[in-house]
Structure 1
């Protein structure tokens, strides 16, 4: 309890009348014998006495032994049983890694990867040099994706959540097949009414073929695609401008001026590896007369792209749309008006950005981040169209 100051007498403004008294309890203020005894002792009663039959040296030895045993227990390797192959795979040499090519889905795209494995266990991921999306490079997200294969919380079996249940119940694949067979007949008779399937967004031809077969068998099927981080805003923004849903694709290697509106182009956005490669190509100089590209970034949190920016402006995410509107109006984009002053954006900064874009028609690029609403994506595409980018 913090010390409490006794109030001074009314009408007294000088501490000389009555010195301030500090006390921690009413017992201390009353100056009881128990309070005085408590103040004179360093520790509570019994805390400073050793147990009967144990001196200080013995106690220190016991504490040291306990810490040593605890350390040995924490450093012990887990017990694992290494079982040899009954029928070893052909051409498998223990200790010699093998590589295989695969594709990693990411949003609506796919990354070609080369995976190194030891005895059937993937251990390292690199980009596939023959794949156009990676060309031999891999981002931090790709490198870290291998950890998901060894995640102890990774789902290893089907889960069933009954109506009103607090948590799902673990089931086996045999349970799932049995439950599906019991429902399949009624669902086929109803044309799939009452059946819903939730999938992550993907661009896999194999998945499309399976979904088409499923729709053919169950015409009334409700199919939904969703994930927490998706490209829905970018596609909806393109639909506002083009009249139909489209997925924008950018070539940073051909841009001399790149403007990022809350978009982490080099890590979090779609085609991050290709974006980083194109941006790096624009930084290389073949002769002393060449000029490097320039990167303007408006973002709400520090990102990999912001760390590479030539001009960076930290701004709340909710104001990025106002920056896009002011930029479009300053560039003379048709149909854009009503932009006012944006708090936190210096007029000189915005004017320099407008001048840089106008000086590089057809060689600029404005990109909005996936977390921005569809209207901001539409403004970014309208700016690119107006400048001939």
Structure 2
């Protein structure tokens, strides 16, 4: 039901005040027990009905008890591997890469079965952290509906096959046709070496890198400014003031596990006599995990995002594009943010998730004017989590 006070609605029909929808809202959580009473009123409650239901229940229980339970055998090792002791877990170092999410992990196993994933504290990037996606990935190993081998299209259906059959079909066609390898950002040296050897053998191959959530504008801007098409290393723990334009660096942007650990370090108070922590200003058009942790959250429309960056650019660098399209409240707030950034030169950080090259170039210029390169961000030690 629509809330008149704060203009919250639960769906399109609620928004347009559809009469048919409104007529059913009040009965959605109706506690009236008349329906249950109507359903049970037909039962006469005599001895005959009681014996009827009792007999049915006993018969069902007897049939269920007679069903065979699948036999599961526990077979001991004939020659037990030295590294496996039943009941004692083994840990294997690995890495998790999925959808742009990366972390170094330790996989806990019992008798060869992975049961838990934890972060690898020895990793200099993720520092022992993991994401919810990495934690849940162990469940996919026990998914009975998962694809267990290669498949080929047979009309409208897919059928199982073997890698040997795939090789027989594909190898004769590799030399005569153009080949495209489509991949997400690849950080694995082993995979890169295998792809390079394949390309060397079949020169008609082109590798296409595609990430569902693109960071191409950030990469292109750094290519134009510094000659390096890479993501800088961001040091959120060294920043006194952080300004983020729609970059959910605690949730989904670039390397959230790494950034969250650094951000938490910058927020920690180690000396109560000199209590200080970093400040976070989030400029965004929707609620994000980073926005919910911000000290100051400035709301702008999606169409105002670039204008907001231009306004901050004009306040700090000057001579940029007009910021007339920005609402007055956001303009006033960003002007205050600019003053705060100027007071923290060399210890501030401005980031943006925009996929517009011009906007990323302005972000680079702002960080350069504030003297942040070499302190809170470093392009000489880039991150290759987006390529």
TM-score by length of 2: 0.73
Match of 1:293 in 2: 278
Structure 1 counterpart of 2:249, from 265, 276, 297: 265
CA contact (8 A) 1:319 1:342 kept: yes
Do the aligned partners of residues 327 and 150 (structure 1) sit closer, same or farther apart at CA in structure 2, a change above 3 Å counting? farther
Do the aligned partners of residues 338 and 119 (structure 1) sit closer, same or farther apart at CA in structure 2, a change above 3 Å counting? same
Q: CA deviation at 1:381?
A: 1.9
Distance 1:61 1:222 in 2: 74
Distance 1:81 1:315 in 2: 60
Match of 1:159 in 2: 151
Matched, 1:249 2:213: no
- Work out which of the two has the higher radius of gyration on C-alpha atoms and give 1 or 2: 1
Structure number with higher relative contact order (C-alpha < 8 Å, ≥ 6 residues apart) = 2
Structure 2 counterpart of 1:356, from 308, 326, 340: 340
CA contact (8 A) 1:298 1:312 kept: yes
Structure 2 counterpart of 1:376, from 347, 356, 359: 359
Q: CA deviation at 1:206?
A: 0.5
Q: CA deviation at 1:149?
A: 2.6
SS at match of 1:378: helix
Do the aligned partners of residues 246 and 49 (structure 1) sit closer, same or farther apart at CA in structure 2, a change above 3 Å counting? closer
Distance 1:153 1:105 in 2: 22
Alignment of 1:1-389 (within 5 A): 55=44, 58=49, 81-85=72-76, 87=78, 88-105=80-97, 110-161=102-153, 165-180=155-170, 184-188=171-175, 190=176, 193-285=177-269, 286-333=271-318, 336-343=320-327, 345-369=329-353, 372-389=355-372
Which has the higher mean CA deviation after the structures are superposed, 236-245 or 79-88? 79-88
Match of 1:28 in 2: none
CA contact (8 A) 2:242 2:279 kept: yes
CA contact (8 A) 1:108 1:203 kept: no
Match of 1:9 in 2: none
Unaligned runs of 5+ in 2: 1-38, 373-387
Q: CA deviation at 1:310?
A: 0.2
Distance 1:167 1:230 in 2: 32
Do the aligned partners of residues 220 and 295 (structure 1) sit closer, same or farther apart at CA in structure 2, a change above 3 Å counting? same
Provide runs of 4+ in structure 1 moved above 6 Å: 47-50, 63-66
CA contact (8 A) 1:257 1:364 kept: yes
Deviations 1:321-378 (A, max 9, x none): 22112211222255x2222241385333112211111111111111112x64333333
CA contact (8 A) 2:308 2:326 kept: yes
CA contact (8 A) 2:216 2:355 kept: no
TM-score by length of 1: 0.72
Q: CA deviation at 1:49?
A: 11
SS at match of 1:161: strand
